[in-house]
Homo-oligomer: A and B are copies of this chain.
Amino acid sequence: MTEIRQPTPRRGTNLPRMGDFNLTVILEAIRRSTLGLSRVELAQIVGLSPQTISNISRRLLDQQLIVEAGKEGSGPGKPRTILRLNPAGMYAVGVHLDPAVITFVVLDLLGDVVRHSRMATPGGDPAGVITSIAGQIKVLIEESGVDESKIAGLGVAVPGPIDLDEGSVVEPPLLTRWNRVRIREALSEATGLETLVDKDVTSAAVAETWAGGASGAGSFVFMYMGTGIGCGIVLNDEVVRGTSGNAGEIGHIVVEPGGPLCDCGLHGCVKSSCIPQVLVAEAEAAGVLDGHREGADGPEVQERYAELCDKADAGDQKAIAILDKSATLVARAVSVVTNTLDVERVVFGGPFWARMSPYFMERVPALLDKNNAARMIHDLEVVGTGVGEDVGAIGAACLVLEHMLAPRAQRLLLEG
């Protein structure tokens, strides 16, 4: 128990901040519409006067963030000029540093992938790895052919725990030697790009808000199904990071009575009962998968997990049982989170999601509904993300877009 910190009162706001904020509000409205919006529609939606909309539209057009895209005349009168996002108005680079593989993407303003690449995570010391990453980023940008002045920055998604203030990685379980490595500073210097660092699951949630379409709006939990299982949290369109950027640690929620012993001393935590590595081991023990390969790391687990899913897809009852059980267990953990936060939606995603999706979608929605404390008041949607396997890297790039262009309340406040 430490001394209570001196509270930092919320700071005021002023005219320029207000203007910038309204600009982002309008941009978000355009972004969230599939087909673009006219100025009049925007005025209705955001509640500002048409004049203000016109002025801000002009600023956005000047900045080339939006373009006028044709007219739409339904009845009499002057047809509406449709405003649409200009995909080429801004780009961002995203890197996902995973214990097994590093993924790189260049994203345009729409959140579409312009170019991507991967490399196996080198095992050397962090400094060397960071140099490799910086090199690969340069190559990727060149290959993409994107005007460098249009690149707003670099986002980096890393496994937790992290220190958001420092921009550092703090001893993640599967990345030995990465002890308090200030990756933000290092990559910022090496690439010359404005750099943001965040946790992988948080990045995935941001990806959903930016590139995920309708399911990325409002309040939701993004369940990231990777080598580990974590969640990203978005409440009222704003991502929740927590005091130090470590929100979303759900590995020690107990989901399986009498399950395997976890390093925390309890049995049947998410971390010890439903992560892919455990399921693979279980399948090996049950004879569903042949051979026992110990010390399986990232890519190997993914392969073996795919084998397990293949068997299940082919009708192997034991394989199906393992996947079904994992769905049940994960649903219990999700219920804990959704009941704590009363969100309106759960979005599943991550590198393992595509293969497990049929088994999960069949069971999870009903289980969540059954355990939903607010069942009488509202439904709880369950959807799979539209953002694919690279959600970590895409989310990393979205961190940059979100930071620059999302209407966060924080943007209004004077900094101190």
Contacts and interface: CB of A to CB of B under 8 A. Distances in A.
Interface of A: 1-2, 4-15, 18, 21-22, 25-26, 28-29, 32, 45-48, 52, 160-163, 170-171, 214-215, 217-219, 231, 233, 235, 237, 240-255, 257-258, 264, 266-268, 332, 335-337, 339-345, 365, 371, 373-374, 376-379, 381-383, 407, 409, 412, 414-416
A12 B131 CA distance: 43
B12 A22 contact: yes
Contact of A4 (B21, B25, B170, B215): B215
Given A4-B214, A244-B374, A257-B267, A46 B9 contact: yes
A9 B32 contact: yes
Q: How many copies does the complex hold?
A: 2
A341 B9 contact: no
Main secondary structure of the interface of A (DSSP, over half): loop
Contacts of A335: 252
Contacts of A10: 25, 28, 46, 237, 407
Contacts of A47: 11-12, 414-416
Given A48-B414, A267-B257, A377-B161, A340 B22 contact: no
23 contacts: A1-B379, A4-B345, A7-B214, A7-B218, A8-B218, A9-B29, A9-B46, A10-B237, A12-B26, A12-B52, A231-B340, A235-B240, A243-B378, A244-B342, A246-B377, A248-B340, A249-B373, A250-B339, A252-B339, A254-B254, A254-B255, A254-B257, A340-B340
Given A9-B28, A342-B241, A374 B161 contact: yes
Contacts of A215: 4
Contacts of A409: 409, 412
A244 B371 contact: no
B250 A4 contact: no
A177 B339 CA distance: 24
A381 B26 contact: no
Contacts of A48: 12, 14, 414
Contacts of A343: 242-243
Given A257-B267, A336-B253, A2 B379 contact: yes
A268 B257 contact: yes
A345 B163 CA distance: 17
A383 to B, nearest CB: 7
Nearest to A336: B253
A342 B246 CA distance: 6
